[in-house]
Amino acid sequence: MGGWFIDIVVEYLYRVIARAIRTRGITHWRIVKAKVNDSTCPVATYGCHVAEVYYEYRVDGEIYTGADEKPFLFHYSGKDYIARFSPGTEINIRLKPSDPSISFVREADQILSV
């Protein structure tokens, strides 16, 4: 039983570290509005729970879609997170300057008014 819990924690830490690495330097990326299409946090049968937010946004007349995954140790934490991203909600996302198809959702950006 203890080994199973350690596996979950290891996966969670791996996902948190990978997310932190991907977000390095994005504070300088442009912020744009996006519309949430869907959000979910399925119950994990193995491993940590992962909340997913799917969204679309427009840049220079072109429509792009994005997906954001955030890990959680507890399912209720993931459910609380996605409750803020219900379908139709407008959110702030960061766009990579050299490639607008690469975007990222940051919780800290959601309180901004763009």
Say if residues 104 and 23 touch (Cβ distance below 8 Å).
Answer: yes
Number of structural domains (the chain) is 1
Confidence band for 4, pLDDT divided at 50, 70 and 90: low
Say if residues 110 and 98 touch (Cβ distance below 8 Å).
Answer: no
- pLDDT per residue as tens digits for the range 74-94: 999 999 999 999 999 999 999
CATH code for the domain in which residue 96 is found:
2.40.50
Residue 86's domain comprises: 2-111
What pLDDT, on a 0 to 100 scale, did the predictor assign at position 41? 95
- pLDDT per residue as tens digits for the range 6-39: 888 999 999 999 998 888 888 899 999 999 999 9
